[in-house]
């Protein structure tokens, strides 16, 4: 069958994929955990929304909407008081649920609530869920579940295209050879873990000795396995396996204004005991960081100028098509408001029905 006609419908104007006004409801990275100490409060802007995050005395991180419900002062100017946050302006105080617990000039606080967002920490990062209640666990690496791990932060990058476009690079079969001169042939198999997570797996044999292959050749006998797990289309966790050794590299991305990408790379490995275990992990993580940096360098050039438009898909692009289809089934939110993004058609229908209801009520 002609591949172009086979994919023509599925590529027809995706609503979520590469949409600069939308992102998928999910867990998103905020800042590295080590950048927020106990008693500290910081301003952060994530996916267009202004927030304040702080770490209370109990070490837990709390994320709240930035502007005080009294008069709009930025709460990151305020002060952490035990596990609560006090606004700098008139000293109103809010607890971890956002409930106002003290207004100094009143005997009783008012029944008001500051918006809070579910927050957690994993792999050395602070994460926030962009909806009311988390519908999914934090992005996880199956091989590392319930195990301690060592992490190293790689570069933080800003790229001139959408996180979805950056993300699909890892399943763009052709480019491994053309851009990275790495793998002569690669075919992925997909497995949808849940509504928000999809894995693409491959066993790769390299035909050529690239820089990366030369570097790792002494360390493995069996073919390297490679897989990537995507969460919400914005977080990609690459797992490389050489014999019994697993290395994971996370590309945690967020959509910036105008369809750009802010990415933090993190290399992750299972913790090993003792000094030599520590040293072993440090060397591996450091190597991964160096190789990863070199690997991404070639892609970055493309990300800075691409105007993504998959007009002519071929069979080698099938994983990209599968990624797009997977993304289209997820719950889209609007950048900045974090409100559910209805399609214009659905909105029109809703209005029409409301109008009909009003008529029949008369
Ligand atoms: S603006 Fe925050 S207490 Fe008044
Ligand atoms: Fe690449």
Asked whether residue 206 is assigned to any structural domain, the reply reads yes
Asked whether residue 266 is assigned to any structural domain, the reply reads yes
Whether 332 has a pLDDT exceeding 50, the answer reads yes
pLDDT digits over 103-139, tens only? 999 999 999 999 999 999 999 999 999 999 999 999 9
Residue nearest to ligand 1 atom 4, measured at CA: 90
123 and 149 housed in the same domain: no
Over residues 182-188, mean pLDDT: 76
pLDDT of residue 225: 80
Over residues 15-37, mean pLDDT: 97
83 and 149 housed in the same domain: no
Which ligand 1 atom is at minimum distance from the Cα of 73?
Answer: 1
Asked whether residue 226 is assigned to any structural domain, the reply reads yes
94 and 189 housed in the same domain: no
Share of the chain above pLDDT 90, in %: 70
Ligand at shortest distance from the CA of 68:
1
Of 104, 129, 154, the one marking the end of a domain is: 129
Of 191 and 186, the structure prediction assigns the larger pLDDT to 191
Span of 140-154, 159-173, 220-234, 261-275 with lowest mean pLDDT: 220-234
Asked whether residue 356 is assigned to any structural domain, the reply reads no
Asked whether residue 120 is assigned to any structural domain, the reply reads yes
288 and 320 housed in the same domain: yes
150 and 250 housed in the same domain: yes
Q: Please tell me the distance between residue 325's alpha carbon and the centre of ligand 2 in angstroms.
A: 21
Q: Please tell me the distance between residue 347's alpha carbon and the centre of ligand 2 in angstroms.
A: 39
pLDDT of residue 113: 96
Over residues 209-220, mean pLDDT: 64
Residue nearest to ligand 1 atom 3, measured at CA: 90
- Count of residues in the chain: 362
151 and 212 housed in the same domain: yes
Considering the chain, what is the average pLDDT of its residues?
89
Q: Please tell me the distance between residue 110's alpha carbon and the centre of ligand 2 in angstroms.
A: 54
Highest mean pLDDT (candidates 76-85, 233-242, 269-278): 76-85
CATH number at residue 233: 3.90.380.10
Question: Of the residues 52, 79, 85, 87, which should be mutated to test ligand 1's pocket, given the most ligand atoms within 8 Å of the CB?
Answer: 87
Q: Please tell me the distance between residue 129's alpha carbon and the centre of ligand 2 in angstroms.
A: 28
236 and 315 housed in the same domain: yes
Q: Please tell me the distance between residue 75's alpha carbon and the centre of ligand 1 in angstroms.
A: 8
Containing domain of residue 240, as a range?
142-328
CATH number at residue 64: 2.102.10.10
pLDDT of residue 8: 46
Residue nearest to ligand 1 atom 1, measured at CA: 71
172 and 112 housed in the same domain: no
pLDDT of residue 74: 98
Number of domains in the chain: 2
Give the residues surrounding ligand 1 with Cβ less than 6 Å away.
Answer: 68, 70-71, 73, 87, 89-90, 92
């Amino acid at each position: 069958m002609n591949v172009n006609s086979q994919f023509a419908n599925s590529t027809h104007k995706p609503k979520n994929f590469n949409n600069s006004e939308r992102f998928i409801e999910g867990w998103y990275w905020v800042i590295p955990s080590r950048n927020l100490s106990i008693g500290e409060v910081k301003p952060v802007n994530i996916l267009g929304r202004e927030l304040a995050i702080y770490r209370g005395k109990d070490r837990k991180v709390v994320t709240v909407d930035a502007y005080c419900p009294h008069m709009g002062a930025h709460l990151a100017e305020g002060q952490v008081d035990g596990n609560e946050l006090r606004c700098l302006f008139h000293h109103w105080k809010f607890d971890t649920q956002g409930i106002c617990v003290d207004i100094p000039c009143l005997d009783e606080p008012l029944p008001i609530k500051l918006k809070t967002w579910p927050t957690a920490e994993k792999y050395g990062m602070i994460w926030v869920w962009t909806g009311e209640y988390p519908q999914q666990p934090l992005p996880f690496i199956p091989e590392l579940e319930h195990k301690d791990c060592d992490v190293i932060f790689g570069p933080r990058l800003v790229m001139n295209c959408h996180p979805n476009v950056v993300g699909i690079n890892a399943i763009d079969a052709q480019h491994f050879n053309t851009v990275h001169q790495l793998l002569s042939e690669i075919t992925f198999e997909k497995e949808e873990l849940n509504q928000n997570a999809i894995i693409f797996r491959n066993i790769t044999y390299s035909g050529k000795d690239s820089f990366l292959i030369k570097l790792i050749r002494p360390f493995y006998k069996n073919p390297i396995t490679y897989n990537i797990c995507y969460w919400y289309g914005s977080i990609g966790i690459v797992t490389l396996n050489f014999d019994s050794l697993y290395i994971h590299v996370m590309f945690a991305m967020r959509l910036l204004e105008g369809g750009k990408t802010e990415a933090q790379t993190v290399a992750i490995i299972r913790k090993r005991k003792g000094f030599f275990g520590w040293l072993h992990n440090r060397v591996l993580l450091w190597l991964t960081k160096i190789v990863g940096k070199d690997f991404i360098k070639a892609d970055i050039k493309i990300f800075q100028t691409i105007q993504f438009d998959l007009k002519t898909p071929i069979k080698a692009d099938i994983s990209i098509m599968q990624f797009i289809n997977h993304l289209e089934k997820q719950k889209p939110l609007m950048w900045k408001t974090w409100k559910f993004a209805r399609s214009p058609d659905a909105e029109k229908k809703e209005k029409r029905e409301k109008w009909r209801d009003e008529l029949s009520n008369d």
